[in-house]
Structure 1
Amino acid sequence: MERIAQLQALVNLSIPAFAAPNADDNSVLQFLLDQGTDLVQAQQVVAFAPLAFGRAVLAQLPIVLSTTSSIVDDRGNVYEGYLLELEPVFVAAQWLAEELIERRQWREDEHMLLAMWSAEFKSVNALLREGSKPENLEISPPVLLWDIVSTVPPIKPESPLKPWWKFW
């Protein structure tokens, strides 16, 4: 639990960097590195904080969100079925976002801006603007890069079939 509290503090520290004018992944990453965060953890915050905050907003709607993600490794292999709850930074960010909403401390100028970094949030927002009904939406699992996840993907990609003409 102490680890989650530390990660929540790190995510909270990053919020102004996400909300800064002209912020991008690199500027948030550099901000976290300047604060003494190690590279992998900084990359995880950049990847998981927007996803978690976006989901905290989307949880207010009757939308089906995936509990898993797909992971792409450096060779392009796709691993499906990776549980987001295995990612401590995601869990910490999600708990922080939910707590901010529950305590009515959610600020549009910071927290909503962070949520708007989420591709899921952007997609749902676009669909709702086009007239889709939230209860009809089921969101596909997010796609993550292998180098930011905390553990080795649990599901191996399927081996490509050998061409029929190869005998070995």
Structure 2
Amino acid sequence: MGSVRLALWAPRCALVASLALLPFTASAASSRLQELSARVDALSAQLAQLQQQQGARQARATAVLPSDIVGTWTLKGFQSELHAGVGSWQVSSYVYNGTVEFTADGKYKLTIVESGNRLTNGGEAVSSYVNPEAVARGKWKLKGNDLTLDSGLAVKIDAGLSVMTMASANPADNTNVMLVLTKQPAP
């Protein structure tokens, strides 16, 4: 009879032992789930922070600051003119080379050389000239990606903050102008 009791008791012990292990396994799984959940939460927080930083970088890339303007810029330009009247006409083209220095206090210094060619009705040849270096000074202000000089010149700045362009056409005197300014590296 003792062996029968033992035979009945052994499966019960195994059942009790396996039931005793169940809460441990469930609590171990629960702690693993909590650990994984905490890691996922931490990764989500890091991702949100990276997305916020990326958004700030993108906003920064499109918003020009005054400090982005300060420095020396190389100026290249082209201008064309077509004039016509009764029995006369004139075609002119000019190129500009120079630099513009923008300072942090909102001032600028433009140094420019202009050269060009002119062909006039009845003229036997194209006349060419080079104007001596000219210097102009004034104030500048920035609004968004538009830089305005006190002379009235408005320049659009690209998102890369290294090139400024200006193009204009004046139908009253048939003048077309294109200017490109490229930022020089800081010394």
Q: Structure 2 length normalisation: TM-score?
A: 0.20
TM-score, normalised via structure 1 length: 0.21
- Structure with the higher strand share, 1 or 2: 2
| Higher RCO structure (Cα 8 Å, ≥6 apart) | 1
- Work out which of the two has the higher radius of gyration on C-alpha atoms and give 1 or 2: 2
